[in-house]
């Protein structure tokens, strides 16, 4: 299976002098095309920093990150921005939507920047994605007029507009109630089933249990991994037990 991301001996530090510490301490990781991966660990373990490094959102101090055959450290910032905009999708705990735009315009604006001539086609695609995640009736709403779960669905639509090779999610269910979180995870599962790789950073074992490979981090290192079969929708309790048992075993 083709590897879409290869991270080799990644080091990322913060602070100066005696305060300097490695948030990523010689971390190596690979993600395959179409894989559904999560990263777990306590606060400060480096899981979000790892996501930022693998996506090129943040530079690294040592090591190498290769995305789809390209060494990200060898690229200029505008080249990195192009890759993130056209080949990656991002979903954060708090959707970064513009207050002065309605839901539909928030979804289409990054794509319009690349191809203004096909505005009708872009809008049609956005509406199709909104229908897929059941927010098609909200296109004219301001972002203050919808729920957190609906905002997150809009954020997912925006992330999917460029047909990305991978979706990165940083605590994408962290601000949602359990029902909304489950609905968002159903959407991620469907995205992955259609062939897009998904990498989620989470502290929630319920979220991690829906994925097929879990990387556990502590003190800037990946200390363990576990694999699970594809989620079938009826085995969440058994998967949760396996995840929490692993967490107890490695002490996180």
Q: Is the pLDDT of residue 224 over 80?
A: yes
Question: Six-digit token pair at 72?
Answer: 């990200």
What confidence score (pLDDT) does residue 250 get? 92
What confidence score (pLDDT) does residue 93 get? 87
pLDDT (average), residues 1-5:
92
153 falls in which pLDDT band (50, 70, 90)? very high
Q: What is the CATH number of the domain that holds 45?
A: 3.40.50.300
Average pLDDT, whole number, for the chain?
A: 93
What confidence score (pLDDT) does residue 20 get? 81
Q: Is the pLDDT of residue 19 over 90?
A: no
Asked if residues 226 and 243 have their Cβ atoms less than 8 Å apart, the reply is: yes
pLDDT (average), residues 229-236:
88
How far is Cα 106 from Cα 98, in angstroms, rounded to an integer? 6
Q: What is the 3-state secondary structure (H, E, C) of the chain?
A: CCEEEEEEEEEEEECCHHHCEEEEEEEEEEEECCCEEEEECCCCCCHHHHHHHHCCCCCCCEEEEEECCEEHHHCCHHHHHHHHHHHEEEEECCCCCCCCCEHHHHHHHHHHHHCHHHHHHHHHHHHHHHHHCCCHHHCCCEHHHCCHHHHHHHHHHHHHCCCCCEEEEECCCCCCCHHHHHHHHHHHHHHHHCCCEEEEECCCHHHHCCCCEEEEEECCEEEEEEECCCCCCCCHHHHHHHHHHHHHHHCC
pLDDT (average), residues 145-159:
94
pLDDT (average), residues 93-103:
89
What confidence score (pLDDT) does residue 113 get? 72
Q: Is the pLDDT of residue 52 over 80?
A: yes
How far is Cα 107 from Cα 158, in angstroms, rounded to an integer? 4
Q: Give the count of domains, the chain.
A: 1
Q: Is the pLDDT of residue 80 over 90?
A: yes
What confidence score (pLDDT) does residue 16 get? 80
Q: Which domain holds residue 98?
A: 3-250
pLDDT digits (tens, 9 = 90+) for 104-132: 999 998 888 766 668 889 999 999 999 99
How far is Cα 220 from Cα 23, in angstroms, rounded to an integer? 5
Q: Is the pLDDT of residue 167 over 90?
A: yes
């Amino acid at each position: 299976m083709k590897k879409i991301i290869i991270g080799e001996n990644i080091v990322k530090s913060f602070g100066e002098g005696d305060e300097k510490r490695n948030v990523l301490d010689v971390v190596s990781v690979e993600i395959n095309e179409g894989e559904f991966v999560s990263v777990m660990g306590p606060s400060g373990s480096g899981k979000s920093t790892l996501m930022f490094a693998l996506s090129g959102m943040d530079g690294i101090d040592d090591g190498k990150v290769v995305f789809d055959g390209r060494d990200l450290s060898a690229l200029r910032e505008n080249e990195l921005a192009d890759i993130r905009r056209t080949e990656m999708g991002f979903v954060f705990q708090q959707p970064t939507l513009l207050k002065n735009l309605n839901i539909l315009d928030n979804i289409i604006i990054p794509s319009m920047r690349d191809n203004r001539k096909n505005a009708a086609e872009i809008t049609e695609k956005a509406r199709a994605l909104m229908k897929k995640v059941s927010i098609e009736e909200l296109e004219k709403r301001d972002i203050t007029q919808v729920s957190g779960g609906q905002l997150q669905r809009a954020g997912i639509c925006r992330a999917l507009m460029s047909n990305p090779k991978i979706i990165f999610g940083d605590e994408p269910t962290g601000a949602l109630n359990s029902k909304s979180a489950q609905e968002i995870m159903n959407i991620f599962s469907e995205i992955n089933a259609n062939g897009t790789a998904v990498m989620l950073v989470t502290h929630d074992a319920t979220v991690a249990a829906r994925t097929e490979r879990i990387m556990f981090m502590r003190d800037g290192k990946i200390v363990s991994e576990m694999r699970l079969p594809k989620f079938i929708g009826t085995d969440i309790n058994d998967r949760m037990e396996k995840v929490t048992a692993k967490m107890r075993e490695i002490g996180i």
